[in-house]
Structure 1
Amino acid sequence: MIKPFSLLKKNDTPPEERFRDQVVWITGASSGIGEALAVALAGHGARLVLSARRQDELRRVADRCTDAGLDQRSVLVLPLDVTDTDAMPAAVDSVLEHFHQVDLLINNAGLSQRSLCKDTDLSVYRKLLDVDVFGQIALTKAVLPLMLERGQGHIAVTASVAGKVGVPNRTGYCAAKHAVMGFFDALRAEVEDDGIQVSTIVPGFIRTAIAHNALAANGEAFGKDDDYIEGGMDVNEAAQVILAGLARGTREIPVGKGKEMSALWAKRLAPELVFRMTKKLR
């Protein structure tokens, strides 16, 4: 008998107990935060659905998960492009056929940007919104009815400090992450009383390939790292912070260790100070 996965009441149950045997679907699972979450959850005994576009990388992550203790049947590799909304009903059916339910959906797929507005092609903005916003909404809408029918479940999304504070060279990324914060905050208000928990994950600078894979002004990969990301929190440490927050049922989970995290409260208390400081970020 599967244990119910209701996180509406905060508790101190550790992740290694909270996630055991739970079905967790992670998008963007082929690298970065998604990969780190998958491996950590494998160590906690969760049953995993790993989605991203690159099947070979997903299989690599799946191997890491089995090395962490899961049997192969407990890891479903499910390639998915979150912009292909027509593919989502079949993807949900595949998950239900394999695991029969979804306890936790982590909408983690995403793209960043490194280009000034004046140089950026409009197609870049459209792609950022398609991947970072509409892809998250579409999969959430596909999974939400299953959770509402059961009267329990948890939906999370990887947002960003950029969803709270606007910074140079990321106008499209900031727009997308602001939209994500608004959508999932509103969704929480709609469904929390129906037994569905909604968490927004708010990372600062985390050491991943996000800058290298970001879109340049012409839509090609930026192809460079930046000092802010290189000096950020270790991705495995970030995963542990995220899972601790999800296990507690925290609605908004800040993740990071640098000065950027102070912007989350400074934006509310001293917005003019934040506006002056962000002009210096390049």
Structure 2
Amino acid sequence: MVFKNKVIWITGASSGIGKSLALHLSNLDCKLILSSRREAALNEVRDLCARPEHIAVLPLDLAEYHSMKPIAERAISLFGTIDMLINNGGISQRSLIIDTDISVDKKLMEVDYLGTVALTKALLPHFISNQSGHFVTVTSLMGKFGSPYRSGYCGAKHALHGFFDVLRMEHEKDQIKVTMICPGFVNTNIARNALTGEGNAQNQQDEATEKGLDVNVFTKHMITAIKKEKLEAYIGQGETKGVYLKRFFPRLLHKVVMRSRVR
């Protein structure tokens, strides 16, 4: 994938991985559409980017998944087309199953799964019409294997893999690409914003997240994976080995995760 002269739409662009993507991609002669709930923060990100005149801001809330069709139409109208959608928006969780109200599981599915799926389906006809397009979806290593305190988050991320694997198969004939990006621990605010069992933000950093990859290092690896049109990319440190342990030695992975005491 060559980024020059492409129009790229990024969700979750107001902070963390999304913000870092915007800053890096803005140097690659492409046009960007930045989305998240916080318009003021999006404007701040735009102003930090190279060539802000080639960057549009389009607020959206993934939880409002029934309203994605008009938002997609608005996004297309901004530059006349869209070449890539980077599904990066979402929320995490830090709570035991027994302590998690079902409303929290519902919110995780609405934001992390249904919102992403609805936005993707709203843009899909445009990609089919163009016989071109690239969906890049940021899931997690938790979409490949599980870890305590993340049950609802893991469920939503696993679901994304099922959906996008099928989308890739059904629309290969339309020249549509799908790349799944699976981060390990990345030093962002994802843990601070993670939901507790009552549905409130955790408001504190995890030790593992604090020690995770620098977000700029992660972003460079992610951009490389997109360029190579990889089907899946596992980006992190030692935790990425969990994907292979899950596939070949699932009982060993269980023991490793239980010993890690990661929160």
> Under TM normalisation by the shorter chain, which class is it?
over 0.9
Give the residue type in structure 1 aligned to 2:48. R
Superposition pairs of residues 1-282 of structure 1, within 5 angstroms: 7=1, 18-65=2-49, 68=50, 70-72=51-53, 74-257=54-237, 259-280=238-259, 281-282=261-262
Q: Which has the higher contact order (CA 8 A, sep 6+)?
A: 1
Q: Work out the CA distance in 2 between the residues paired with 1:233 and 1:161.
A: 14
Of 86-95 and 215-224, more deviation after overlay is shown by: 86-95
Displacement after TM superposition at 1:71 (Å): 4.1
Q: Which runs of 4+ in 1 moved over 3 A?
A: none
- Stretches of structure 1 that go unaligned for 5 or more consecutive residues are 1-6, 8-17
Pairwise CA RMSD: 1.0
What amino acid does structure 2 have at the position aligned with 1:262?
Answer: K
CA deviation digits over 1:198-252, x for unaligned, max 9?
Answer: 0100100001000000000100001110111011111011111111111111110
Shift of 1:40: 0.5
SS at match of 1:201: strand
Query: Structure 1 vs Structure 2: percent identity of aligned residues?
Result: 43
**What amino acid maps onto 1:268 in structure 2?**
R
Cα deviations across residues 151-201 of structure 1 (Å, max 9, x unaligned)?
A: 001001101000111100000111111111111111111112210000100
The answer as to whether partners of 2:65 and 2:110 remain within 8 angstroms in 1 is no
Partner letter of residue 19 of structure 1? Answer: F
5+ long unaligned stretches in structure 2: none
Does structure 2 conserve the Cα–Cα contact (< 8 Å) formed by 1:192 and 1:198? Answer: no
Question: Could you give the per-residue CA deviations for residues 103-133 of structure 1, whole angstroms, max 9, x where no partner exists?
Answer: 0000111100000000001000000000000
For 1:213 and 1:196, the matched residues in 2 are separated by: 33
Q: Give TM-score scaled by structure 2 length.
A: 0.97
- TM-superposed CA distance for 1:23, in Å, is 0.3
How far 1:20 sits from its partner (Å)?
A: 1.2
Offset, 1:85: 2.6
